[in-house]
Structure 1
Amino acid sequence: MNRLASRFPLLGRIATINVFACLISILVSMIVCWYGVGMSYGRADVPFMYEGDSLQYSYVLEVQKAGSVSRIDLAGAPIGTDHLDFPNADYANHAMANAVAAPGDFGHRYNRMYLLGVALTALAGFAVARRLGIGVALSVAVSIVFSVLPFHFLREQHLYYNNYSAFALTLLIATWTYLPADPNAPERSRTWRWLSVAARTAILLWIGTTGIYFGFFACVLIGAAGILGYLQFRTASSLRRMLVSIAAIVLCVTVQLLPTTLYRLENGRNDRVAVRTVAETELFGLKIAQMLLPVQGHRFEPFAKLRERYDAVAPLNTENSTAGLGLIGAAGFCLALLALLVPAFRRRLPQQAQFAAMTVAILTMFATIGGFATLFSLIVSPEIRAVNRVSPLIGFASLIVLACAVQLVATTYKRRWLAPLVAGLMVLIAIPDQMPDRRRMLKERHAAAIARFDSDRKFVIDLRKQLPPGASVLQLPFLEYPETVTPIGHYTQLRNQLHGLDLHWTYGAMKGRAASNWLSMLVTRPAAEAVRLFESAGYAGVVVDERDRTPWINEFLRELAATHALTTVISSDGTQTGYALKDPKTTAPALLLALGQGWYVREDQGGGRALIWSSGDASVHIAPVAGGRSGCSLNLELGTVVPRHIELWVDGNLAAQTEVRPDAPAHVALPVPQQGAAIRLKTTPAAALPGNGDTRPLAFWLALGDPVLCGGAGRRY
């Protein structure tokens, strides 16, 4: 009893030391990253990245905060859109990001979420290092060096990837999977065992909900750990733990992707979004040289020039250039390989360090260009293409090997001061080594971001004053979303959505779906016809990005000004011009006809006639404007090159079916409800090459009529 009581003060002191050391790790890491991305030069309400992917992250988060990504009214006006074709498995990140700021406060949200990701990474790095037997001082060093990898400074646009805490936890789970249970360990109580199960479950849930890449790499490493553990120790428990862990992660990812899966089953797969190829796995693969070379823009000029020499001659320099490990990580990487090649050295390391060395080799062989990831892409699926993103996990395993080697030397030679000394040197070397010297660039970038942010916000405020509440605004030029290269920069038009959450904008309509197809059609029509469609859709304003103003836009605005008095609003930086209808008429109820999935490009037949071929099953979307119009019908003319059967499903119900022959096009009339409808055309036999030299598999053609089905400023057909 006295012995037990005497242990409590000791346990309390140990816990206090660990908590204090962990807080130091978190604080130092956050300060370094706060400075390294230039937040010290910025403003708290302005995101430190106000361009590119950072705008998309902010847009998706605002949409989620407002409701759901399955129905988005902020973009794709007047039809609306969704974000289900661009799936993710980031529910934990979404929840945290939505919790750290109010709707519309996207600048604070972005900055806070970045720092929160750094803090969580430092926390996980310290906790896992301690759990793997690393001393307090070296655990602090491992945590800080891991949290300030070049990845954290060079991948700043990819907000969620900066929370790579899941990688540290992955190594912990994989180590538990690999190592057999200690037969000499004291028996744990039932409560302790349940707590252990709960902790492991929570870790697996975290890994499975912080990004699909993190979950995938975890499954790769845990799978290897289970197989190697069984072969090394001949214990089936390694295989059982492997299967349970992988099943838990796969289940998490599957649940998160379920909305996308159901959406694709109902609407067909969108072959224009997130289409990945085997070649991209090679393009975005890992390169050992990039991991070991100094970071781009290194503070030490000879190192910077060495990296410049490599980048000037080496091919396939893509986002994999962010995979550097720094001097400390590179030392651990080399030690890991040495441990695998020199059995005498390996046997002196603890088993968890031996497995960390194996992790370095396993993941490097998997992710390197031409490695096992390429075979996975070729045989299984090319969806996981950017395998270079595993580099922080390789870096963490390398740091664990290095820390264990330092502890081995300190213990062997009885130098207790060695571990704290090396820990301090690791931190002092890693921070300037891993953080590129970008001070001038960061100052200029933040000054420009603040100016653009203020200009964009004032522009939307001024434009809103000229528009009716909840107005729809046409953004020109029309740009497809997502992943489209444009002269104005990808995702730039989302700045309007972020500052004008109460309006309905056009940019952001998912390409390949109804809203995007309708808008794409609008901007290819003659200007006078486009104005009629503009009126029928109920738009109350236009915003033009001046950096890509085209002759068609000028002609469209002249036609619009000929029939409507316009109020002009110009942004202070001159990049945007808004045109608001001074006296917008009450929008007439209408139904718009938009092509959905499964169609090729429009083909003009002359004489004002046009048709479009399907690649198989296809869809048509009828969208209401101003409440829709009753008493409308959709008259379809369908043709084919081989006899076929076509079924027409309206909102999931079979409404009509017809036989189509090459010499006898079919005509089908469908009544359309006032609120619009989703119409799916299903055909048999499957699409095939027509045999006339056309390389496209063709099913049936549809004669195109007026995109304003009825009502509005259009005619009925």
Structure 2
Amino acid sequence: MKKNKSLLLEYSILAIVNFVILSFYLHIDQINLKIPMLYSGDALPTLSFLKQIFIGEFSFFGVPESHNLSAPFMHSLGDYPTPMFADWLIIKFISLFTNDYFLGFNLFVLLSFFVNPMAMFYVLRKLRVGILLAIAISILYNVLPFHFYRIGHTFYINYFFLPLLTYYLMMMLNKKPLFFKYSNTQKKLFFDFSKKNIIIIFVLLFSSTWNYYYTFYFCIFVFFFTLIGYFIYRKRHYIYSGIIVLLLSIIPFVINMLPYKTFTKINGINAQVAQRGFAESEVLGLKIAQLLLPINTHKIGALRDIRARYDQSAPLVNENHFATLGIIGSIGFILLLLMLLNINNKSSIQNRLAMLNIIAVLYATVGGLSVLFALIISPSIRGHNRISIFIATFSLIAVALFLQYLFKKYQLSKVSIFFVSMFIMLIGLYDQIPGGATFKTNSLIESTFNSDKKFIQQIEDKLKRYSSNMVMQYPHMSYPEQPVLVKMLNYSHMVGYLHSNNIHWSYGAVTGREGDIWLKSLEALDIKEQIKVLQKGGFTGIYIDRRGYIDNANMLESKLKEILNIEPIISEDKNKSFFDIVPTDHTIMKFSGFEKNFYGWESNQFGSFGWTSGSAILLLQNNRANNLNCNLAFNVGTLKNRNLKIMFNDKLLRDFFLQPGLNKTVLLEELRLNPGSNRLSFITDTPGAQPGNGDPRSLAYSIEKMKIICGGISVGNLIE
């Protein structure tokens, strides 16, 4: 009981100190919880996940889907896995206390600023670091530059599992293998079902679906520490221990991925989404210089200038500049490197940290083992600079252990320990917290948020006369990971979904899937034809983000005013407009397009030029009620020798051999298109391959200058 009271007091002191620091340095006491801390870029899809979970639309055990996105079809994330079951559970728990998902987002972010230091403090106290020093280091762990810079990548900032996982990794090199106990009577090792091990098992299971990058790196460390444990002690139980840890970390993740793999098996590989190349592991790799350099918004001008000189001239500067450790973490990092020069006791805590640190550096650094992994096994994990948060964990623990050693060696008084700990904490706070970092609500975010909220409410009020609503959003932007369109950032269209309750928005169509192909085909038509197709399909409105147009959408809006003879609703910030249209039917006009294994037309113009990744299927859509005879003409080319068969509705039309540099013109005459979908299959016996010019795609054969001619008229990809 006395021990529990002592622990409660320690954690209470840490919580109070943490809150005081967050209030003094970051003004957390002045936060407006109703306005999201971030409201652009990657924060928007994160907010959409929260909304889906809050309203019960999110699937915890399947592929996340939404019936309010990707109109006139359905939004599905089968091509873009989010295997983060543990995160979804925490968010669902937050939703039990509020139905405001914007508030929920802020609470999820704030959670990281209170749980991260608690986890580090727990581990430091387990390692017998004094309470004052443990509090100081835990506070610095909480305000690492990584924490602030990664708020946009929200699922990286709750890194509280990492101190625990580090502690478990160090336990793997104990004289007694993790999960095992020694029987004095039988002189053998047996599995230990102790309370401690049950807790470790639970943490490993839960953390495995928290962040797949963290799970992946943890498994890398486990693999190497399993081998190190075996070579130090020469006992097979260290192998067993490592296998158990790996299984506990991998199996839940694999189970979490099964729905996505099933989706891919049913729908085929989407060659246009999240295709990674091994070179990206090089580009986004870890750089030791960036670990040690100061932050780019440092309060000291001279240090800020040093960082600016590096960022302006050095190659491969990207998100990896988030990896800065700060001066205290850098000292720990250097200490860990120096320890490698004199490893006498390989099983000491300090040397275990040194081994973890060097494994992280060797694996993730530019040109390191991660590139070989990406080249030989899989390039899916690419942003290896993100391992820096593990390195920061190792480094700060090392600083704490080193200082604790000095305190003990020189028998410092409690007063001296207090002042040394305070000094270290204050230096770290000044050094690590980016200039301008604050929890105060950003005025631009607040005004934009309120403008969008009011604007979307006006749209809903305008459309409430209809029982169901679909709104076309211009310009079309595919989902996910799209470049900036003029001044319109990726995911900007998501604000419509976030602020509405009863509208099915066109945004959210996944690149290369049916909805995306349909919307791109629609946008290629003349605007009068587009409105005709939208009205026939049951759409009730047109939403325009003016930032996506060079002329601020002046030409598009002028045409819509002329055609519809109405004035649009304009948002308060003047960035968005809305025109309501009257639906004439609920029949979705289908466009012809490739079903799978096609990277899309490179100019977004049907028939221009595009690459396949292997055997592909072109769906020829006949929107008429009767059969129609059409001719098809196109050219095909290849990067390597291959056979290619062309079949129409299971009937073989052509079978020929392709050679690099010798494009072949194909003319298919008198194709009888049945009403609805008709399949033109391109079947090859040779898979695609990367061209070797930096393009990460696997390219098989190209198709260009495709024309569909019906009744002597080129009809494009809309046959009606």
Letter in 2 for 1:427: M
Q: Aligned partners of 1:621 and 1:30: how far apart in 2? A: 60
Show the counterpart of 1:356: 353
- Say if 1:118 and 1:551 are closer, same or farther in 2 by CA, change over 3 A: closer
What CA distance in whole angstroms lies between the structure 2 residues aligned with 1:552 and 1:525?
20
* Structure 2 CA distance for aligned equivalents of residues 688 and 232 of structure 1: 46
1:3 equivalent in structure 2: none
Q: 1:478 aligns with which of 467, 476, 479?
A: 476
Decide whether the 8 Å contact of 1:472 with 1:504 is kept in 2: yes
What's the counterpart of residue 379 of structure 1? 376
1:703 Cα offset (Å)? 6.6
Determine if the alignment matches structure 1 residue 62 to structure 2 residue 51.
yes
Q: Which residue of 1 aligns with 2:661?
A: none
Give the direction of change, closer, same or farther, for the CA distance of 1:645–1:159 in structure 2 (3 Å limit). Answer: same
Preserved CA contact (<8 Å) 1:638 1:660: no
Question: Secondary structure of the residue that 2:590 maps to in structure 1?
Answer: strand
Query: Which range is displaced more, 475-484 or 121-130?
Result: 121-130
Aligned to 1:48: 37
- Residues 437 and 70 (structure 1), Cα distance of their counterparts in 2 relative to 1, 3 Å cut: closer
| Superposition map of 1:86-101 within 5 A | 86-101=80-95
Q: TM-score, normalised by structure 2?
A: 0.83
What's the CA shift for 1:219?
0.4
Residues in 2 aligned to 1:334 and 1:611: alpha-carbon distance in whole angstroms: 53
Query: Where does structure 2 lack aligned partners over 5 or more consecutive residues?
Result: 637-641, 655-665, 690-698, 711-716
Q: Which runs of 5+ in 1 are unaligned?
A: 1-11, 649-655, 690-694, 707-713
Name 2:71's counterpart in structure 1: 77
Q: Is 1:413–2:407 an aligned residue pair? A: no
Structure 2 match to 1:462? 458
Return the alpha-carbon distance in structure 2 between the equivalents of residues 615 and 314 of structure 1: 35
Cα distance in 2 for partners of 1:261, 1:431 equals 45
Aligned partner of 1:697 among 698, 701, 715 = 701
**d(CA) in 1 for partners of 2:477, 2:298:** 37
> Mapping of 1:287-298 within 5 angstroms?
287-298=287-298
- Alpha-carbon distance in 2 for matches of 1:704, 1:239: 62
- CA distance 1:435–1:555, shift in 2 (3 Å): closer
For 2:294 and 2:330, the matched residues in 1 are separated by 9
Name the counterpart of 2:363: 366
Aligned partner of 2:234 in structure 1 is: 234
Q: Could you give the per-residue CA deviations for residues 272-325 of structure 1, whole angstroms, max 9, x where no partner exists?
A: 211222222122111212212222222233333333333333322211111111
Query: For residue 447 of structure 1, what is the aligned residue in structure 2?
Result: 443
Q: Which residue pairs with 1:401 in the alignment? A: 398
User: What is aligned with 2:639?
Assistant: none
Relative to 1, partners in 2 of residues 1:452 and 1:684: Cα closer, same or farther, differing over 3 Å?
Answer: same
Which of 587, 590, 593 is equivalent to 1:592? 590
Pick the aligned partner of 1:25 from 11, 14, 20.
14
Task: Assess if the C-alpha contact under 8 Å between 2:608 and 2:705 holds in 1.
Answer: no
> Quick check: 284-293 or 590-599, which moved more?
590-599
Distance 1:190 1:115 in 2: 42
2: distance between equivalents of 1:77 and 1:106?
Answer: 23
Q: Distance in 1 between matches of 2:401 and 2:310?
A: 32
Residues 116 and 160 in structure 2, CA contact (< 8 A), matched pair in contact too: yes
Q: Deviations over 1:342-398 (max 9, x none)?
A: 34xx64x97222201211121112111111112212221111111111112111111
Secondary structure, in 3 states, of the residue corresponding to 2:652?
A: strand
Superposed displacement of residue 222, structure 1: 1.0
Deviation of residue 134 (structure 1)?
Answer: 3.0
**What are the equivalent positions in structure 2 for 1:124-203 lying under 5 Å apart?**
124-181=119-176, 193-203=193-203
| Equivalent residue, structure 2, for 1:652 | none
Which residue of 2 is the match for residue 660 of structure 1? 653
Give distance in 2, aligned partners of 1:193 and 1:39: 43
| Partner residue, 2:511 | 511
Partner of 1:537: 537
User: Displacement of 1:450 after TM fit?
Assistant: 0.5
Tell me by how many angstroms 1:261 deviates.
1.0
Task: Report the TM-score, using the length of structure 1 for normalisation.
Answer: 0.83
Distance 2:470 2:166 in 1: 50
Measured in 2, the distance between the counterparts of 1:265 and 1:233 equals: 45
For 1:390 and 1:553, the matched residues in 2 are separated by 43
Which residue number corresponds to residue 662 of structure 2? none
Does structure 1 retain, via aligned residues, the 8 Å contact 2:512–2:600? Answer: no
Cα shift readout 1:671-691 (whole Å, capped 9, x = no counterpart): 76xxxx9989584545789xx
> Does the 8 A contact of 2:286 with 2:364 survive in 1?
yes
Task: State whether residues 631 and 668 of structure 2, in contact with CA within 8 Å, keep that contact through their aligned partners in structure 1.
Answer: no
Distance 1:23 1:557, change over 3 A: same
**1:456-500 CA-partner distances (Å, limit 9, x unpaired):** 000011111111354111111112221112221121221111111
State the Cα distance separating 1:108 from its structure 2 match. Answer: 0.7
The one-letter amino acid paired with 2:305 is K
Q: Identity of aligned pairs, percent?
A: 26
- Report if aligned partners of 2:48, 2:498 keep a CA contact under 8 Å in 1: yes
| Cα separation, 1, equivalents of 2:367 and 2:602 | 42
Distance, in Å, in 2 between the alignment partners of 1:142 and 1:541 is: 55
Please say if residues 470 and 539 of structure 2, whose CA atoms lie closer than 8 Å, have aligned partners that are also in contact. yes
Q: Which amino acid aligns with 1:351?
A: S
Corresponding residue number in structure 2 for 1:389: 386
CA distance in 2, matches of 1:504, 1:266: 25
Deviations, residues 113-160 of structure 1 (Å, cap 9, x unaligned): 011123232222122223334333333233222221111111121111
Aligned partner of residue 540 in structure 2, secondary structure: strand
Equivalence map 1:203-352=2 (5 Å): 203-343=203-343, 347=345, 351-352=348-349
Name the CA distance, whole Å, in 2 between partners of 1:516 and 1:20.
56
Tell me, in whole angstroms, the C-alpha distance in 1 between the residues paired with 2:321 and 2:8. Answer: 35
Partners of 1:565 and 1:462 in 2: how far apart?
Answer: 19
CA distance in structure 2 between the partners assigned to 1:239 and 1:477 by the alignment: 56
Moved more, 274-283 or 187-196: 187-196
Asked if structure 1 preserves the Cα contact closer than 8 Å seen for 2:612 and 2:700, the reply is no
- CA displacement 1:323-353 (0-9 Å, x = unmatched): 111121112112212222134xx64x97222
Rounded to whole Å, the distance in 2 between the matches of 1:73 and 1:287 is 43
Match of 1:112 in 2: 107
Alignment of 1:3-18 (within 5 A): 12-18=1-7
Quick one: distance in 1 between partners of 2:447 and 2:280? 36
Instruction: Verify the 8 A CA contact 2:181 2:191 in the aligned structure 1.
Output: no
| Mean Cα deviation higher: 546-555 or 326-335 | 546-555
How many angstroms apart in 1 are the aligned matches of 2:548 and 2:211?
35
| Equivalent-residue separation in structure 2 for 1:165 and 1:225 (angstroms) | 21
**Count of residue pairs the alignment pairs up:** 670
State whether residues 337 and 354 of structure 2, in contact with CA within 8 Å, keep that contact through their aligned partners in structure 1. Answer: yes
2:539 aligned partner, one-letter code: Y
Q: How many Å separate the matches in 2 of 1:354 and 1:552?
A: 60
C-alpha displacement of 1:513: 0.9
- Cα gap change, 1:505 to 1:456, in 2 (>3 Å): same
| 1:579 partner SS | strand
Greater CA drift, 242-251 or 608-617: 608-617
Output the amino acid matched with 2:496: N
* CA distances 1:389-425 after superposition (whole Å, capped 9, x unpaired): 1112111111222222222223333335365554333
